[in-house]
Amino acid sequence: MAFADKLVAIRCAHNLTQEGLAAKLYVTRQAVSRWERGEVTPGIDMMKLIGAVTGEPLSHLLEMPEHYCESCGMYLTPDD
């Protein structure tokens, strides 16, 4: 799932409007709208803030696989 789709789902799950999420992130509603339409992707600092505000793990927002080495970032296969 693309970040834009995840953000919409996360926002709706928290019963937030674009304006409500924007206020929590200290950005404009238009910025949230552009993220949700996939026009732009927020930087890593904003991703961290989105995660902190919504309680979503950063790895989920960044589309990282579920199994990876937290030390080096290498993807782990079921055999590892």
Give 2-57 pLDDT, tens digit per residue.
899 999 999 999 999 999 999 999 999 999 999 999 999 999 999 999 999 999 98
The pLDDT of residue 80 is above 60: no
**CA-to-CA distance for 34 and 70, rounded, in angstroms?**
31
Residues in the chain: 80
Under DSSP, the state recorded for 53 is H
- Whether the per-residue pLDDT at 59 is higher than 90: the answer is no
- Looking at residue 53, its pLDDT comes to 96
Would you say the C-alpha torsion 41, 47, 53, 54 has a positive or negative sign? positive
CA-wise closest residue to 47 among 59, 34, 64: 59
Measure the N-to-C terminal CA separation of the chain; round to a whole number of Å: 25
Domains of the chain with CATH codes: 3-61 (1.10.260.40)
